[in-house]
Structure 1
Amino acid sequence: MRWWALGLCCSLGVAQAEVRLEAPEELALRLRPYLSVENGARRLRQLSADLLATEGYFSPQITLDEAEEGVHLRIDPGPRTRVQRLDIVINGPLSLERRAALLAQWGLPVGQAFRQEDWNQAKTQLLDALLAEDHAGARLLDSLADIDPQQQRAALSLDVDAGPRYVYGDLQIEGLQRFRPALIARYKPGLRPGQPYRAEDVRALVQALQASPYFSRVQAELDLEQAQTLSADESTAHTRQAPLRLRVQEQPIHRARFGLGASSNTGARVEAAYGNIDFLRRAWQLETGLRLEEKRQTFFSDVFLPPTTDGVRYGGGFVAEQSDIEQLRLQRQALGWQRSEQRGRLEERWSVQWQHEKRQPGGQGWTTSRALAPSVSWTWRELDQLIEPRRGVVLQVSLGGGSKVFFSDQNFLRLYGRGQFYVPLGARDSLSLRLELGRTFADARQHVPQDYLFRTGGTGSVRGYPYQSLGIKEGNAVVGGRYLATASLEYTHWLNARWGVAAFVDAGDAVDALQDARLAVGYGLGARWRSPAGPLGVDLAYGARDEALQLHFSLLIPF
């Protein structure tokens, strides 16, 4: 056992008197926070003994020597007490399998060193396991840790009342003013009357309602006081049905939003938006707004329906946009419909979009492109944190296209895939890798809307180059090509809880034929700040192809 000497200052009647502690390293670290200047010599012995007892040392040898310069505290903890006997009684209508599973998960088994923290945690975990499934009224009746300090043995006993099994009764909702109970029913398909109680089901309902646009606060609990025994039948004699009480607070129906901002991609921005979560009094969500940027101006209006009982959500919208980026002027109007569904970690989205586009490259004549394009995309997320991940992966694949037979000016099929990978390196460092591939199958890129072709460069793609400056040269303009490939590798080191630095290298290009591919490389350094809205990044990147520096800034949230 390693020993450790620790010098501290205590109030002993002499200013800044020193307390020198000699104890095994692990124990010294645990004792250290409590041996402060507020502890006098009289209390050190008893305090040390009490703290050692919580770690399972009930027969320590504590020597305390006082001198003018302070106190020398030497601790020999002696042998550690271990669990010799365990007696757990669980009363209630549990199956043999459930009872055996609970006992097998007990956190302080025979032979393990006794610690007060482990004893408390083991009792809590056993009770929580009962409360989480079927037995919402489980309670701890009695517990005892009988310590024999002479033999260093602990005998543990526990008496738990599981109580009856509970199933859901009717849903009782408080706080609804404008919306109907049928809206909430869309979010709770698994919580039907008669279904066994699961705490995870209730948490999922609360989270789903809280994440919806309709409610600002949600609370849910099983009302045990109104529970009723199902029947006198032997199979249900120990089963009670309790209503689920739900308290909600509705969001304001109308919401206006105004904002100012800036982006290294599209310049300064001003925007105004209006939202209505009960459009046409049908709990439809309306979002409409105007966003004015230096390089792009957008008007949009979208309507989203509440989810169906199986979690599917439908929506539709209109967007009108004009932009002037890299000498390419675009005017487009689009009308679309979509169906989205979240299945665990997989998000599936189907859509159909009618798009009318006019483009003018480099001051030349205007060209019109029209397309009716159905598409589908799948996004799979496996992340330790959604906003600021350190470990995990996000993968996205999409497929869409149009045909001359169905109101499109050109036959085309667009395939696109993207992956983002996060790897932690120690406590403060991390590595992220991004890969992006795309191809549009078409006889020619003419009359294919730019949304279905590829340009790259700028924040979020290849840093060191202006936004969407990598693509096909058409006069002095850059237009979309039929092939895309980008990659990015970034290493981040956090200096403290708020600030970090990053080094990165990006590469990529968008071309119209594979033989023209010549990856543009950019690399540089950046600063990272954990803001309330998410991690912000400012990067200074050097583009090797253009031999120029570019400044980029962005909100670093995974797609």
Structure 2
Amino acid sequence: MSSTPSKIDYYYIRFWSTILLLIAIIPGIAVAQESFDITKNSTTVILSAPDTIKEFLAKYFKLPAEPFADSTAEKTFLYRAQKEIRSLLATEGYFSPVITLSHQTQGEVTKPEIRVDPGVVTRIGEVSIVFRGEIIQEDAKYRKRIEQLRAAWSLQAGSPFRSSEWEQAKATLLSDITQEDFAAANIVTSQATIDPDHARADLSIIIDSGPIFYLGAIQITGLERYNQALITNLAPFKTGDAYRRELLHLFQIALQKAPQFNTVSVNISPDTSQHKSIPVQVVLTEAQSQRFAFGGGYSSNNGARGEINYRNHNFLDRAWNLTSMLRLEQKRQTFFAGIDTLPDQNNINYSLITSLQMTDIQNLKTNEQKIGMTRNYQTPEIQMQFGMNWQRENKQPAGAINQINEALTLDWRWRRQIVDDPLNIRRGDVTEIRIGGGSQQLLSTQDFVRTYARHQSWWPVGSQDVIFLRAEIGYTLASSRFGIPQEYLFRAGGIQSIRGYDFKSIGVQEGNAIVGGRTMATGTIEYTRWITQQWGAAAFADIGSAADSWQKMHPFIGYGGGVRWRSPAGPIALDLARAHETGTLRFHFSMAVAF
């Protein structure tokens, strides 16, 4: 008979081993818990007060943990405690507290007790805000602004008076005045008159706006390799414009985005003697003009990725940007090179690009060469491009005829982005419109006009959550899709399209391949619940299709949920989506940012 233990014997031994281990551990846990409770409850001084007051004092007033050395030490502490507690309660608007000292016996131990009755909270009575300086001139603009400043004052009559809120309200008022026109505004006097008998606080402020400031010349510190025009052309103001803090902020953001600089600071010194033409001070450090970068990543659309970048931010010693990139992905390989000139005073610059790209997606292989030039206009909210591009595409669908497609196109693109935070959006809209086309009379193998529009909206829900909506539509006007490069046709599926379906798997069947059609429409609704500051969960539904005509459009639906993580580069999304048509489950991994 074999002596090998049976499976039942194994689980029997394991079960009783676990029980014995728990028996050994649980008393220790109980003793530790009891010890913790005793430590928690043991204190030298008893503090008695209403719950909210007791919680407040526990945060800012420290009770002694060890017994007093003698009666003198106890009396010294209690005397100091009364003064500190009165001061702390005054910051919360309690100016007439009753603090009594006694002793309480607990078992065989007698301890001193501090009993706190905070009394009635002091409330705000009259509020007087008096303005001086040029803001009181007879001008409808400034009269309205004074009304707005008074209306925005946060401490209204009848509300509780707290010192911290009083200081914050004054700081906010001063900040609101100095953000436009009056850079040297200051508070002349401020007083909170406390009437403890009636629990009332009357507030008075006198604020001097000073003169109106006008922006003068730009003074630059730290510029060595570049012409000053690189700085001045990015300024969103002209000499003589009235001072606005927002203009300096926008100027600093524009300079920080310029690859030629590492650090940038834009400011003024509000000297009233120079208010008619205050210098704008720009202090910066220059970045290295040339750099190599290596990177890698993964997207469920194109698989694993590795790339090499080379950038020269002072190309031909003209501060032009030369960018080149070699990116190798599982489904796509790209080489790109481009030159961008400097923006002029009208925010216009020019770009020259060239690229080579090979793709192998849904049994469709393409080999594309492109060269083009664009005229770019850009502000913090608007991007507009108008360009001419020529491309040649070798199209190889599996099981169908290979084709060579060429197109010389005029292409116009308009994009508007108004969001609260480009990386972690909670509120905003992004709209994009593109129109382009080519003609057989001008180096194109087919006549066509391609139109495309997309809109994305974010709405906050509560303090953390976000609802996201996306809609896009595209239509290429042409007699046939043949002869048109894939860039000017449409496929759907994958990230930023219809999740649950493979990347570009929805389109027109050509042989064994899926190729682009002349029509496309997709949409998304997504709800993200941020559980912590860094982590969230999302639920979504996508719908749409791509085909060769509107009549052949068949809606594809995908839905599911995912995880969101706020990384330094923006939210990273990992989604599990189900394709309604096939029941297939598919993971999608991407950066969930607006583009």
| TM score, norm. by length of structure 2 | 0.83
Whether the 8 Å contact between 1:524 and 1:542 is mirrored in structure 2 is yes
Picking from 448, 469, 474, the partner of 1:433 is 469
Q: Deviations over 1:67-86 (max 9, x none)?
A: 35575745343252423363
1:415 matches 2:457? no
Would the alpha carbon gap of residues 77 and 315 (structure 1) be closer, same or farther in structure 2, given more than 3 Å must change?
A: farther
Q: How big is the shift at 1:498?
A: 1.9
Q: Per-residue deviation at 1:49?
A: 2.7
Q: Say if 2:591 is the partner of 1:548.
A: no
Is 1:133 paired with 2:180?
yes
Deviation for aligned residue 1:261: 1.7
Q: For 2:412, which of 356, 370, 376 is the aligned residue?
A: 376
Paired position in structure 1 for 2:278 = 242
- Which of 449, 459, 483 is the matching residue for 1:447? 483
User: How far has the Cα of 1:529 moved from its partner?
Assistant: 1.4
Task: Indicate the structure (1 or 2) with the bigger Cα radius of gyration.
Answer: 2
Q: Are 1:221 and 2:249 an aligned pair? A: no
1:457 aligns to 2:493 (yes or no): yes
Q: Which string of whole-angstrom CA distances, capped at 9 and with x for unpartnered residues, describes residues 485-508 of structure 1? A: 222222222232222222222222
Q: Which amino acid aligns with 1:127?
A: L
Counterparts of 1:460 and 1:170 in 2: how far apart (Å)? 46
Measure, in 2, the Cα distance between the counterparts of 1:14 and 1:551: 55
Q: Does residue 1:286 correspond to 2:332, yes or no?
A: no
**Residue identity opposite 1:352 in structure 2:** M
Which amino acid letter does the alignment assign opposite residue 102 of structure 1? Answer: I
1:197 CA displacement: 2.6
Q: Which residue of 2 aligns with 1:90?
A: 132
Residues 102-125 of structure 1 show CA distances to partners (whole Å, capped at 9, x for unaligned) of 365232455654332332233223
Q: Is the 8 A contact 1:176 1:248 kept in 2?
A: yes
Q: Percent identity?
A: 36
Alignment check: 8 A CA contact 1:464 1:543 kept: yes
Using the TM superposition, give the Cα deviation of residue 42 of structure 1 relative to its aligned residue in structure 2, in angstroms.
5.6
1:209 counterpart residue number: 255
CA contact (8 A) 1:335 1:353 kept: yes
Q: CA deviation at 1:30?
A: 4.7
- In the alignment, structure 1 segments of 5+ residues that lack a partner are 1-8, 230-238
Measured in 1, the distance between the counterparts of 2:453 and 2:443 equals 26
More helix as a share of residues: 2
Render the CA deviation track for 1:375-424: whole Å, top value 9, x for unaligned.
22222223232212123332222221112222211111112122222233
Give the whole-Å Cα distance in 1 for the aligned partners of 2:387 and 2:64. 68
Map residues 22-41 of structure 1 onto 2, 5 A cutoff. 22=50, 30-31=56-57, 33-35=59-61, 37=63
User: 2:241 and 2:592 mapped to 1: Cα distance?
Assistant: 42
Q: Which amino acid aligns with 1:154?
A: A
Aligned pairs for 1:106-145 (under 5 A) are 106=150, 107=153, 108=155, 113-145=160-192
State the shift of 1:428 in Å: 3.8
Query: 3-state DSSP class of the match of 2:344?
Result: coil
Are the equivalent residues in 2 in contact too, given 1:56–1:82 (CA < 8 A)? no
Query: What secondary structure sits across from 1:341 in the alignment?
Result: strand
The aligned length equals 538
Unaligned segments of structure 2, at least 5 residues: 1-36, 66-76
| CA pair 373-17 structure 1, distance change in 2 beyond 3 A | farther
Quick check: 2:47–2:54 contact (8 Å CA) kept in 1? no
1:351 aligns to what?
A: 387
* Counterpart among 504, 507, 528 of residue 468 in structure 1: 504
- Specify whether residues 245 and 85 from structure 1 end up closer, same or farther in structure 2 by C-alpha distance, changes over 3 A only: closer
Post-superposition shift, 1:523?
2.3
Task: Indicate whether 1:275 and 2:275 are aligned.
Answer: no
Match 1:80 to one of 122, 130, 152 = 122
Q: Are residue 101 (structure 1) and residue 145 (structure 2) matched? A: yes
Q: Secondary structure at the match of 2:441?
A: helix
Aligned mate of 1:188, from 229, 235, 240: 235
Instruction: Looking at secondary structure, tell me which structure has more strand per residue.
Output: 1
Q: Tell me the residue number matched to 1:150.
A: 197
- C-alpha contact 2:222 2:283 (8 A) present in aligned 1: yes
Q: CA deviation at 1:250?
A: 1.1
Partner residue, 2:70: none
Tell me how far apart the structure 1 counterparts of residues 270 and 577 of structure 2 sit (CA, whole Å).
62
- Structure 1 residue 17: deviation in Å? 6.6
Alignment check: 8 A CA contact 1:11 1:37 kept: no
CA contact (8 A) 1:84 1:153 kept: no
Preserved contact between residue 97 and residue 116 of structure 2 (Cα < 8 Å)? no
Q: Does 1:315 align with 2:362?
A: no
Q: Let me know the Cα RMSD of the aligned residues.
A: 2.9
Structure 1 residues 351 and 37: CA distance shift in structure 2, 3 A: farther
Matching residue of 1:505: 541
- 8 Å CA contact 1:433–1:490 kept in 2: the answer is yes
Matched to 1:539, the amino acid is D
**Partner AA of 1:217 in structure 2:** T
3-state DSSP class of the match of 1:289? strand
